[in-house]
Chain A
Amino acid sequence: MAHNTSLGQAAGISEEQVLAIGTDDYMESALLNAREKAAVLWAEHVTKNTARSRDDVFEIVRKEFTEAEIIDLTLVCCYFNMFNRITDSLKMPIEIQSEVDKIKTSVRLDPAKVKSYLTTVVEKWPASFPAPNPD
C-alpha cells in the first residue's frame, strides 16, 4: 500500500479516491468513473479468486475495456498478488517516506530506459550459470 499509494498520488489519484477504493461500496462512489470502478471491481475479484465464477463481474469489465486492456489489467492485479505475498512473507521493511516517494518520478516509463536495462543485462550476460544446489 505504501508504495502504490505514493505512486498513485504521482499518477493523479487523490487521497479521497484511495479511501473510496478501500471501501466495500466503491461501486456507488461519486469519486470514481465507470472505467475506474470496473478496474477496481476486477482487482477485487481477481484477488479473491472469485472472478472465475462471477460472469456478471466480467460483463461489467468487458463493457469498459478492450481485450488488450483486460489482459494488462489482469496481469498487473496478478503480479501484485504475487508481490504482496513476497513482501509479506519475507517481512520486507518499508523504506522511510522520502525513499518511498522516489517512486513518484517513475509513473511514466521511458522505453529507452527499459532498452538500456535489457542491454546492460545482455552485455553482462554471465559466461556460465551456476548448477542448482543439491536437494
Chain B
Amino acid sequence: MIDPATATGDVAMLFEAVTAMLGRVPNSYRILGHSPLVAKMLIPFNAVVQREGAGSVLTARLKEMAVIKTSHVNSCRY
C-alpha cells in the first residue's frame, strides 16, 4: 500500500487528482495506485456510478441500498 506522502511521478498525480475529487485517498486507491496509469481511468467511473450529481439518474441513497446488498451477498467486509 502506497503512502500518499511519499508518492512520486504518476502515482503522485493520481493521488493529487483523487484528493481533489474525494478529499482523501482511501486504502483501496493506495493499493490500485501501484498501477497508476490504469487506476486513473477507473476512479472517475467509480465516483460517477456510485454517487449522485455528476450524471447518474439515481440517488446515492438508492444505489447504496443495492451496493449494501451486493457486498452482503458477497460477504465483503471492506
Say whether A and B bind each other: yes
Interface of A with B (CB < 8 Å)? 1-5, 7-8, 11-13, 17-18, 21-22, 26, 32, 35-36, 39-40, 42-44, 46-48, 66, 68-69, 72-73, 75-77, 79-81, 83-88, 90, 92-95, 99, 102-103, 105-111, 113-114, 116-118, 120-121, 124, 126, 129-130
User: Main SS of the interface on chain A?
Assistant: helix
Q: CA A102 – CA B48 in complex, angstroms?
A: 18
Whether B49 sits at the interface, judged by CB under 8 Å, is yes
A21 and B49 in contact, given A68-B57, A92-B27, A94-B78 (Cβ under 8 angstroms): no
User: Main SS of the interface on chain B?
Assistant: helix
Contact of B49 among A13, A72, A84 (CB under 8 A): A72
